[in-house]
Amino acid sequence: MGHRLAGLAVALSACSLNVDYTGTLFACDPDGACPAHYVCQDMRCVPTEPQPAACAVAVGAGDGHSCAIRKDGSAWCWGRNDFGQLGDGTTTDRTAPVAVSGTQLPRLSAIAGGDEHTCALGADGSVWCWGHNDAGQLGNSSTSDFHAPVAVSNLGDAIAIASGAAHTCAIRADHSVMCWGANDAGQIGNGAFSDQLAPSPIDSLHGVTAIAAGGGATCAVDGNQQLWCWGDNEHGQLGDGTKMTHPVPTPAALHDAVGTAVGDGFACALGSASSGSQVTCFGLNDNGQLGATVDPNAEHLIGVPVEFAGVAVSIVARTNFACLTDDHKRVWCWGQNDDSQLADDTGDDRFVPVLTGYGDAAAVVAGGAHTCALSPAGGIRCSGYNGRGELGNGRRTSQGTPHPVAGIQNAVSVTAGEFHTCATLKDGTVTCWGGNDAGDLGDGTWISRGRPGPVTALAGVQGLASGFGHSCALSGGAVTCWGRNDRGQLGDATTYTRGYPRAVSGLATVDQIAAGGNTSCARIGGTVSCWGQGGNGQLGNADNFDADTPVGVKMLMPGVRSIAVGDAHACAITGDQSVACWGANGGGQLGNGNKASSNVPVAAIDLGGADQIVAGDGFTCAHTAPDGVWCWGFGFNGEIGIDDFDTFTTPQHLTSLTGTMKIIAGGSHACAIKASGALACWGASYSGEVGDGGYNNRGTPVAVAMPNSASVLDVSAGEGHTCAVLADGSVACWGDDRLGQLGDGILADRAPVAPLLPCP
């Protein structure tokens, strides 16, 4: 869904949508027609995928990467590569398959991925691993990372391999088992709890026919069809009826197993044909990973049958989901599905198996939040999260550095919501892009868009603010809002979601607007009114109820200079330039030294003259003249910016940050524009939202380089992405791009796509 097709527009009848194919995911014609190379799915034109190259004999998946073995015995990998887990000699992410380096490699027959490492089985019985090695998961008697394959020590007769988060196991020719790597929960199975840097035999286990490794646990099946499990058992995932950790193989309650799979906090077993090939899962079920309509809040220590009426022939599991293949070579999956990893063309969790879009499958593998299936002909298709390129189709859905938004050259400001972005242009109009499931883009549709498009009937805009799924604009003292409205955040006296701007009831002569979470606020003549969600007291009106029209913030001194709204709290700079906050306070984001929430503003914080205030998801930052920055609240992702990943209930001074002119706060990250026009950001960066090219959280501010070294005029941060207005009026964005919020025309693929594997 990231292809582009420029220069085609179709005019429809007066009652239908205009169709513009210059972006992605636009409406089909009324008769279901789309341009060449696009197909109509749910009345959206999406690009057709190329037929997968048919030369693979095996496929594997890690947490954020995928791999394949071709018919010529070579290994190819793609996706995340910060520890060298792709084996190409680099640490550069790859959006398309690259060859695993190493002329010493034998012909390979199987491949398995851990969280950050990969292992492959040679046709000669040797095992080769590469990537992260902090716990010895490469098995070469060291703890050094290797960006190209190294041979596992003292192992030359392996016939099968399995990788967990940071450990690996192999079945040997005599059907004994050896494991190596992380062993903090006893997942190696040798009775110890110390990491094993080289293969360690499991003396108590014999005749093994199948093995699987998960986060901190391992399971195997022996020749008597007995299931044995060991390691972490916090949620009862070992299936022995207890929650006791076992550092040696322990028999599970299941006695007729022929296969097994292990995720994080749960495991599954495939029963024999004589028992009906029933799949049974045990352990955690908070995302439906047990595959049955049982209590999602309960842990099932013995196991529950997966509600599948067909004949299962294999199973796999990872993190919080699982899949099986049936006797018709179809793939069924269940569990967590936030990123469409279940390949069912939705993002809905599934508590019972659902048929995927893979069709004819010889094998399926599960990654951290993606799956890949191998067809009998040797083709591979993948589905799910693609932020690091793990689908291999060349269209990753995150960017770790700023990328230009096409078509904008006259922006003056930008605002980022949870999954959408809007910019105010010099002519006073507004353009938006990104997620649109609740009318977030204000164009009257509910179709997500990876390209900017105008907000309906909006002009003369002087201020713009976005919450999770709604936005508000200030024009001539009046406020209009659009998008999600389930908590009254649009302020139009209803809770009806709106795909176009609606006037906020009873507001006039407004000086400033702010939005965050499901709440909006306005500053009027030195006073503050708020509307929307109020369950945490974030409306500041002395109660804890939602309001679909503005209500006045109580006990706030007149003369308010500025306001900010976070996920569930809000703040104001008062007339004497002190800071007062109200709402949720579980992380100390109100800054008054405790964690008690308040539905009215708490005692003002004197920072010596605050002139800016911003609020994120559980943290707050303020700016003081001339260039001081102070932050407080949740800091587990580095949000506080002082290189201390903790919670702070009082303001902390970012002494390493000087020369600042403007600050902003997003979901769990923040940024500051310096007087020089340079930008620095800090905090969470799972999707690259900090913008320095990395995907690790940053505890202190780091420099963010703009395209052509341009100066930054304005910046805004969403839940997992960031956008900036540059000196030439262009906009650059970085971070999460699954719903098109970076404006580069790319959106996440919800149906399986083909990795660009070259065939010899």
Q: What pLDDT digit, counting tens, does each position of 183-211 carry? A: 999 999 999 999 999 999 999 999 999 99
CB 402 within 8 A of CB 703: no
28 and 123 in one domain? no
Query: Is the pLDDT score of 120 beyond 70?
Result: yes
Q: Express each pLDDT in 588-633 by its tens digit.
A: 999 999 999 999 999 889 999 999 999 999 999 999 999 899 999 9
Torsion of CA 726, 730, 734, 738, to 10 degrees: 160
CA 440/CA 719 separation, integer angstroms: 14
In a domain, 754, yes or no: no
Q: Which of 363, 397, 431 is the last residue of a domain?
A: 397
User: Strand, coil or helix: what is 275?
Assistant: helix
- Shared domain check, 91 and 19: no
Under a CB-based contact definition with an 8 Å cutoff, are residues 589 and 618 in contact?
yes
Question: What pTM did the predictor assign?
Answer: 0.90
In the numeric block, which tokens belong to residue 650? 């009082």
**Residues paired with 605 in a beta bridge:** 579
| Count of structural domains within the chain | 2
3-state secondary structure (DSSP) of residue 273:
helix
Instruction: Specify the pLDDT at position 41.
Output: 63
pLDDT at 24: 44
Distance CA 495, CA 313 (A): 49
Let me know if residue 672 belongs to a domain.
no
At 428, give phi and psi (nearest 5°).
Answer: 85, 5
CATH number for the domain that contains residue 117: 2.130.10.30
Q: How far is residue 646 from each of residues 106, 542, 593, measured CA to CA in Å?
A: 48, 30, 14
The answer to whether the CB of 212 falls within 8 A of the CB of 263 is no
- Cα distances from 549 to residues 15, 417, 493, 522, in angstroms, run 32, 21, 5, 12
Same domain for 87 and 34:
no
Domain boundary among 397, 425, 447: 397
Give the span between the Cα atoms of 50 and 67, in whole angstroms.
19
DSSP 8-state secondary structure symbol assigned to residue 494: S
Residues 370 and 233 in one domain: yes
Would you say residue 481 lies in a domain?
Answer: no
- pLDDT tens-digit readout, 388-441: 999 999 999 999 999 999 999 999 999 999 999 999 999 999 999 999 999 999
CB 588 within 8 A of CB 594: yes
20 confidence band (pLDDT: 50, 70, 90)? very low
640 within a domain of the structure (yes/no): no
Asked if 243 and 357 sit in the same domain, the reply is: yes
pLDDT at residue 254 in the model? 87
Say whether both 104 and 37 belong to one domain. no
Looking at the structure, do residues 248 and 183 belong to the same domain, yes or no? yes
When the pLDDT of each residue in the chain is averaged and rounded to a whole number, the result is: 93
> Any idea of the CA torsion for 545, 551, 553, 559, to the nearest 10 degrees?
170
d(CA 401, CA 742): 11
Residues 6+ apart with CB under 8 A from 68: 56, 58, 59, 60, 75, 76, 77, 97, 111, 374, 380, 755, 757
pLDDT of residue 37: 63
Q: Are residues 257 and 328 in the same domain?
A: yes
Q: Could you tell me if 134 and 36 lie in one domain? A: no
Question: Is 127 a domain residue?
Answer: yes
Range of the domain at 359: 56-397
Q: Are 67 and 84 in contact (CB under 8 A)?
A: no
- The dihedrals phi and psi of 707, each to the nearest 5 degrees, come to -55, 135
pLDDT higher at 15 or 727:
727
Q: What pLDDT sits at residue 749?
A: 87
DSSP string, 316-361: EEETTEEEEEETTS-EEEEE--TTSTT-SSS---EEEEEE-S--S-
Q: Report the distance separating Cα 312 and Cα 328, nearest Å.
A: 9
- 149-184 residue pLDDT tens: 999 999 999 999 999 999 999 999 999 999 999 999
Other CB atoms within 10 Å distance of the CB of residue 463? 18
Same domain, 138 and 285: yes
Average pLDDT over residues 258-277: 94
pLDDT band at 1 (very low <50, low <70, confident <90, very high): very low
SS3 of 759, please? Answer: coil
Query: Is 458 a domain residue?
Result: no
* Residue that terminates a domain, selected from 369, 397, 425: 397
CA distance 121 to 279: 27
Q: Are residues 38 and 118 in the same domain?
A: no
The answer to whether the bond into 626 is cis (omega within 30° of 0) is yes
Q: Which of 72, 160, 168 is nearest to 117 (CA)?
A: 168
Residue 592 lies in a domain: no
Residue 319 has pLDDT above 80, yes or no: yes
Share of the chain above pLDDT 70, in %: 94
Q: Is 125 within the bounds of a domain?
A: yes
pLDDT at res. 15: 28
Pair (23, 61) in one structural domain: no
Q: Taking the mean position of all CA atoms in its chain, how far away is CA 60?
A: 21
